[in-house]
Amino acid sequence: MNQRSDREETIRCRVARGRFPALLNATQNARSVPIRQTLSAAERAAAERHLQTCEGCATEYRLLALSRAALDAAATPEPVVPGEDFFKAVRARINRGEAGASSVERAEESWAAALLVTARQLIPVMALLLLLIIGATFLWSSASQKVGPPVQGKNALFDDPAPSADDALDSFMAVEEKKNGK
């Protein structure tokens, strides 16, 4: 038996995603929302119920809400002033001085470690590619030996005889005459 009442609407992900902007406007604050984007109470309840049951849509809605909040925070006319902790951290980094140089050495060590890991992964791949190339070469050479040389006087692709040197010369002469307008 279905426990939901007939009034409760179940919606699909596509419909729920279409309602995200209006749902955000309704939950954040009542900004001037175009009439097309206002939700009725039933539509809002259905969208919220869908967000509770669909993890993908809930994640997408949270990302949309987070990006909207970040844009709203960036658009405030109030200046952003760093706190005293920020300046203390900067002063501490400046006072450390030579300790910062050791972090450069650690960065180089991590670069070398990353190169070693990459090489360990690339060597088997390169060996496999080399084996494939060698195998393809052997297969190709053995297949070409089985075919044998083409029949004398015949073109391997067609039943017509192969063009002679005179035929090629006649073709070149015809092209040159056509270029010269003769």
Q: 5-18, pLDDT tens digit by residue? A: 445 677 888 888 88
Residue-wise pLDDT for 124-139, tens only, equals 888 999 999 999 998 8
Residue 161 φ then ψ, to 5°:
-65, 155
Which residue from 53, 61, 71, 76 is spatially nearest to 23, judged by alpha carbons? 61
Q: What is the pLDDT of residues 74-106, one digit of tens each?
A: 787 877 778 888 888 888 888 887 655 555 555
- Confirm if 51 and 57 have CB atoms less than 8 A apart: yes
Q: What is the DSSP string of 36-82?
A: GG---HHHHHHHHHHHHH-HHHHHHHHHHHHHHHHHHHHT-SSPP--
State pTM to two decimals: 0.37
